[in-house]
Amino acid sequence: MPLYKRITINHATKVLIWKIEEPFEELSKGMELTPLCRERVDGMKSDIHRRGFMSVRHLLAQEGYQDSDLYYDEAGKPHLKDGRFISITHSFSFSGIILSDREVGIDIEKQREKILLIAHKFTPIEEYRTLANNDALVRKLTIVWGAKEAVYKLYAQPKVSFLQHINITDFDFEDQKTTGKITFNGETNWFEFEFLEFEGFTCVYTLRQIS
């Protein structure tokens, strides 16, 4: 399938989402990988991870980039050689990237009841007990988790705890946006988030605000 969704946030910031329906062989056609990335993808045991990896290269191609334009720092954070900022995500049958002239973070998550079992590890679960049903609780927790993942990717500081250091402001589903803060090492930084839901998945993204 070609590009699933493109969102233009501003003149310099775009979100691109790919629905992964093609087999690995088809996704690999015409895609040149660096020797390091070729070794990396060849070593992946999971077919969906291999397909996710290649689908991200198709998303890069949508914006005129090749695999060789992308590199990762020691912490595993992706960067583009031309200085633009990028964040990457992949979950089951969807992958996504966000590109900007500012630091960014993005996360896609599948909405699953499994999140109810781990929610206490990343957010005070009692804050969400007023929700009408399990489906709503799963949706909200998935958005909160995605927001924390997205801002964690942007902030990129070791030892940041989802539960202790990142707080997401409560929100209504129809708003499709919220705020949050990271309080760490004596500093507090606020962020704005936008989210969307599609086919049982949630995508959340954020970009660093201009002070």
Domains of the chain: 3-101 (3.90.470.20), 108-207 (3.90.470.20)
Select from 76, 77, 58, 74 the least CA-distant residue to 66. Answer: 58
Q: What is the pLDDT along the chain (211 residues), one digit of tens a residue?
A: 579 999 999 999 999 999 999 999 999 998 999 999 999 999 999 999 999 999 999 999 999 999 999 999 988 899 999 999 999 999 999 999 999 999 999 999 999 999 999 999 999 988 776 776 889 999 999 999 999 999 999 998 889 999 999 999 999 999 999 999 999 999 999 999 999 999 999 999 998 876 5
Q: How far is it, in rounded angstroms, from Cα 196 to Cα 176?
A: 6
Q: How far is it, in rounded angstroms, from Cα 152 to Cα 168?
A: 12
Q: pTM to 2 decimals? A: 0.94
